[in-house]
Amino acid sequence: MIKTYKKRDLYLNKLRPYFDKNLIKVIIGQRRVGKSYLLYQIIDIIKKKKEVSIVYINKELNEFEFIKTHTDLLAYIKAKTKGRGKAYIFIDEIQEIAGFEKALRDLQARGKYDLYCTGSNANLLSGELATHLSGRYIEVKIFGLSYPEFLEFHKLKNSSAALMSYIKYGGLPYLINLELEDAVVYDYLRNIYNAILYKDVVRRFKIRNSEFLERLVAFLADNVGSLVSAKKISDFLKSQKTKMPPNVVLNYLTHLTQAFLVFKTCRSDIIGKRIFEIGEKYYFEDLGLRHSIVGYKQTDISKILENLVFLHLKTSGYNVTVGQLKNKEINFVCERGDEKIYVQVAYLISDEKIRDREFGNLLAIQDNYPKFVVSMDETAAGHYNGIKHVNVRDFLTKMA
């Protein structure tokens, strides 16, 4: 297998400690974020160590169409590795194989296989069989390119122009092969969006009303960073002469998050530390895909910036919720192990009213965890009553 690629050390370093361990390595993420190329990198690393037996299966290639069930998968792997010692098994888009969990359980139990697989579904190993695999697999989530990766992949210097390209076109790795122009990029991204919507949602979950699903995605794209609920969406659609009960809306929202098109972000009470069950925010896993649906508009820059910062926090490994402090909202409450930070996002701190709102919300929190206001002000620097004011480019490149 000869493939050229740019290394993504962030994810390689997460997986490296598990090479040659009797654990199933599960790599999950949205379509086209680079899961396959991560497998290629792992294969090349393993091949350099010694002469090994490697089996690679890519369910997006027609030559593997015959592998439809776990029985087919087991038969193929066992035939390929018969009479050999330890073998390294790589299976791309494994969710396309019915009952694949049974095959993984069988292969893992034999102890002679080092197993790696990718999938485009958040609940790849959910359900009853996950109980049988508990403690036997490690799951790593892959995201699109972070801003520093975007600069490296596209050979750009960190500048306002580079940031705007990242904001407009997103972080799907294949964009390095295209001219960063609206017509070219958004044609490509619309095809990716259609693949996610129809292969990973409509076909997988047997959605009947695909027209409603498309309208729901457009609603989420228009309302990035706004508190929504299944009932609120249902009421909105009712006003548009479309009837859809809240439980169906909720199911569709769940399917969209499972396909990694959007993130669902819950609200948390900063004082009581409880999670609110009603009212959440949705952010897109790739801004370019969001723009391919409803277009990129400068008037949306505040919500786009909020989505951008959210993605950076998730890529950096934080668990993120929307903070609620009485009648004040904190954009992001971020926890990672014992670490905790608060982040407020604003387009520009252009007057005292905005300054009082953005910094004031954070000042109302009575603890000593770090607090940040992130904006596009080029002069953003220093502190305001102990709260750090950070330019978004600095936040994306220095805060991880």
- pLDDT tens per residue, range 216-257: 999 999 999 999 988 888 888 788 777 888 899 999 999 999
Q: Taking 60 as the threshold, does the pLDDT of residue 1 lie above it?
A: no
**Euclidean distance between CA atoms 372 and 366, whole angstroms:** 15
pLDDT at residue 369, rounded to an integer: 96
- Residue found under tokens 């910062």: 309
The pLDDT value given to residue 322: 96
Quick check: 271 pLDDT over 90? Answer: no
Percent of the chain with pLDDT over 90: 83
The tokens for 166 are 């990242």
Which amino acid, 366?
Q
Mark which of 141, 160, 189 sits at the end of a domain: 141
- What secondary structure letter does DSSP report for 99? T
Does residue 14 lie within any of the structural domains?
Answer: yes
* Gap between the Cα atoms of 145 and 275, Å rounded: 30
Q: CA-CA distances (angstroms) from residue 116 to 36, 69, 86, 166, 177? A: 11, 18, 14, 31, 27
User: What are 290-331's pLDDT values in tens digits?
Assistant: 999 999 999 999 999 999 999 999 999 999 999 999 889 999
Res 276: pLDDT: 75
Question: Which residue, of 124, 141, 158, is where some domain finishes?
Answer: 141
pLDDT, position 115: 98
The C-alpha torsion from 164 through 257 and 400 to 341, rounded to 10°, is 110
* Domain annotation covers residue 2: no
Q: 3-state DSSP helix/strand/coil percent for the chain, to nearest 5?
A: 45, 20, 35
For position 381, what pLDDT does the model report?
80
Mean pLDDT of the residues in the chain = 93
Please tell me the total number of residues recorded for the chain in this structure. 400
Let me know whether 98 and 175 are in one domain. Answer: no
Same structural domain, 96 and 169: no
- State the average pLDDT over residues 364-368: 94
Task: Give yes or no: residues 272 and 385 share one domain.
Answer: yes
Task: State the average pLDDT over residues 149-172.
Answer: 97
pLDDT at position 285 is: 98
Those residues with Cβ within 8 angstroms of residue 185's Cβ, 6 or more apart along the chain or in another chain: 168, 169, 175, 178, 179, 288
Nearest to 281 by CA among 248, 238, 314, 244: 314
Find the range with the poorest average confidence among 63-67, 116-120, 229-233, 354-358.
229-233
Q: Is the pLDDT of residue 83 over 60?
A: yes
CB 120 within 8 A of CB 29: yes
pLDDT at 4: 72
CA neighbor of 217 nearest in space, from 198, 203, 239: 198
State the alpha helices, DSSP H only, in 53-142. Answer: 70-81, 100-110, 128-133
**Cβ neighbour number for residue 347 with a 10 Å cutoff:** 16
Per DSSP, the three-state class of 292 is: helix
Q: What is the pLDDT of residue 272?
A: 67
Task: Give pLDDT, residue 100.
Answer: 94
Q: Is residue 364 part of a domain?
A: yes
Neighbours of 315 (CB within 10 A): 20
Closest Cα to residue 373, out of 359, 363, 393, 385? 359
CB atoms within 10 A of CB 164: 13
pLDDT digits (tens, 9 = 90+) for 4-47: 788 999 999 999 999 999 999 999 999 999 999 999 999 999 99
Judgement on whether residues 130 and 155 belong to the same structural domain of the protein? no
Is residue 154 located within the same domain as residue 135? Answer: no
**Helix H or strand E encompassing 124:** none
> Could you tell me if 293 and 256 lie in one domain?
yes
Residue 373 reports pLDDT greater than 90 = yes
| Residue 271 covered by a domain | yes
- Residue in the structure block whose two tokens are 């037996």: 53
On the question of pLDDT at 126 being above 90, the answer is no
Residue 239: predicted pLDDT: 83
Together in a domain, 244 and 132: no
With respect to residue 216, please indicate whether it lies within any of the assigned structural domains.
yes
In a domain, 66, yes or no: yes
Please check whether residues 78 and 155 belong to one and the same domain.
Answer: no
**Cβ(182)–Cβ(173) under 8 Å?**
no
Residue that the structure tokens 């300054």 belong to = 355
Q: What is the CATH number of the domain that holds 129?
A: 3.40.50.300
Q: Considering the entire predicted model, what is its pTM?
A: 0.94
60 and 167 share one domain: no
3-state secondary structure of 333: strand
Mean pLDDT of 256-271: 95
Q: Output Rg (C-alpha) for the chain, integer angstroms.
A: 22
Q: Is residue 3 part of a domain?
A: no
Mean pLDDT of 84-94: 95
Instruction: Please compute the mean of the pLDDT values over residues 83-108 and round it to a whole number.
Output: 94
Verify that 352 and 376 share a domain, yes or no. Answer: yes
Judged against a pLDDT cut of 80, whether residue 192 lies above it is answered with: yes
Task: Name the band, by pLDDT with cuts 50, 70 and 90, for residue 287.
Answer: very high
Average pLDDT over residues 176-198: 97
Report DSSP letters for 232-283, one per residue: HHHHHHHHTT----HHHHHHHHHHHHHTTSEEEE-EEETTT-PBPSS-BEEE
223 and 286: one domain?
yes
Q: Are residues 73 and 220 in the same domain?
A: no
Local confidence band at 55 (pLDDT 50, 70, 90 cut-offs): very high
Which domain range does residue 217 map to?
Answer: 147-398
In a domain, 1, yes or no: no
- Is the pLDDT score of 391 beyond 60? yes
The residue among 99, 100, 165, 118 whose CA lies nearest residue 11 is 118
The angle formed by the CA atoms of residues 264, 256 and 246, to the nearest 5 degrees, is 80
Domains identified in the chain, total number: 2
Q: Which residues pair with 327 in a beta bridge?
A: none
CB 178 within 8 A of CB 185: yes
Of 111, 141, 171, the last residue of a domain is 141
34 CB-near residues (< 8 Å, 6+ apart) = 8, 142, 144, 173
